[in-house]
Amino acid sequence: MPAPADHLLAVIGGGPAGLMAAEAAAAAGVRVDLYDAMPSVGRKFLLAGKGGLNLTHSEASASLLARYGDREARLQPLIASFDAAALRAWARTLGVETFVGSSRRVFPAGMKAAPLLRAWLHRLRTSGVRFHARHRWCGWGEGGALRFASPAGIREATAGATVLALGGGSWARLGSDAAWVPLLAARGIEIAPLKPSNCGFEVAWSEHLRTRHAGRPVKPVTVTLMRAGQPALGLQGEIILTAYGVEGGVIYALSAAIREEIARHGTATVRLDLAPGRDEARLTEALTRPRGSRSLAKHLHRCAGIEGAKSALLHEILPATDFGDPSRLAAAIKALTVTLIAPRPMDEAISTAGGVRFEELDENLMLGKLPGIFCAGEMIDWEAPTGGYLLTACFATGRAAGAGAAAWIRRAR
């Protein structure tokens, strides 16, 4: 006999947060219907794992939580109840072993998302979760029923509680199109404007650099964000030159600070150390040595380790006269200034900042203005760099929302 509608949980969104909400509720004995606008669930999850699924990060709890910036305090209890160790143990129950890479990031043994997702969906279906693909949420009907645009037309469904796990505003082709924003705003829910996060930034490159060097990596390099002419934040790693500007791991990690600097001042300045670990005085000494018949390119490579994309950057930014002055050239290698003029469009970003403000949610992630409606994942106002932090918070908030919704339904029985 089917469960009464008020005993059901509707989960809207089939990404990691939504799937985890469904699992938490099903484990608590609640029947779950999961709706997703796409033909299949977990599409962004699968694409994110195409080059190696980074599930979480193994660093100490305090360091991990600090990655969430001013949302650390709100996320702390949620992540503490389902931290990196718990997430790895959970993956093991699906038959997926994990390992810690050299960067302390945690990956599944096979590096891919598909085996984990297949095992997860099988377990969810076995536990009674019912999936409804190609069901795009359209808000609520007059009687409070959930409305969906489906292949058969507009469909309405009722439930005892709802978990919204609709993602942010990036990668709309995979379902995260932020169409939920006006639906919640119309109900008086305060939503922080969505902004690109973990994104690239535009630079006014010359045609030569755009056409000849786009796609080339610059590594190792230390990138330092400057504020009022002083170093503010710096990280070492890799960046990628693009036709529009720069992207890559270090840029993504600094993207929130860079984005806000551009919002305040119109541009952001970053300083590149193209020879991290090399002393400027020794670089000057090496570059002062006679190069004889060697070309300038070979001289830079031999004396300073500068070639390829690094050499292209120097030629892009430095006046030609500075290449004949070893001290100026060494100074530029250690502190090359690049001006970033705008973040790339939100739909190109890996993730988004902004969303439902935490002040609208209780400790179980239920909307105070809409009792019985819970939120999870990237649609909540938090952001984090890549490196497993995004998925960690999506899993944790999904689990909390699913458990909270299940408790709400049980109390109402």
Q: What is the pLDDT of residue 49?
A: 66
Cβ neighbours of residue 153 under 8 Å, at least 6 residues apart?
none
pLDDT, one tens digit per residue, over 317-329 is 999 999 999 999 9
Higher pLDDT, 122 or 43: 122
pLDDT, one tens digit per residue, over 171-201 is 888 888 999 999 999 999 999 999 999 999 9
Contact assessment for residue 342 and residue 202, using Cβ atoms and an 8 Å cutoff: yes
Q: What is the pLDDT of residue 299?
A: 87
Q: Tell me if residue 92 falls in helix, strand or coil.
A: helix
pLDDT, one tens digit per residue, over 339-363 is 999 999 999 999 999 999 999 999 9
pLDDT, one tens digit per residue, over 85-119 is 999 999 999 999 999 998 899 999 988 899 999 99
pTM flag (> 0.85):
yes
Q: What is the pLDDT of residue 167?
A: 96
Contact assessment for residue 218 and residue 274, using Cβ atoms and an 8 Å cutoff: yes
Contact assessment for residue 180 and residue 44, using Cβ atoms and an 8 Å cutoff: no
Model confidence at 4: pLDDT above 70: no
Model confidence at 52, pLDDT cuts 50, 70, 90, reads confident
pLDDT mean across residues, the chain: 94
Lowest mean pLDDT across 43-52, 208-217, 228-237, 389-398: 43-52
pLDDT, one tens digit per residue, over 288-308 is 998 888 888 898 999 889 999
Q: What is the pLDDT of residue 3?
A: 52
Domain architecture of the chain: domains with CATH: 5-197+346-412 (3.50.50.60), 201-343 (no CATH)
Contact assessment for residue 150 and residue 317, using Cβ atoms and an 8 Å cutoff: no
Number of alpha helices (DSSP H) and beta strands (DSSP E) in the chain? 15, 20
Q: What is the pLDDT of residue 303?
A: 87
* Alpha-carbon span 223 to 272, nearest angstrom: 5
Lowest mean pLDDT across 49-53, 214-218, 249-253, 283-287: 49-53
Q: What is the pLDDT of residue 1?
A: 38
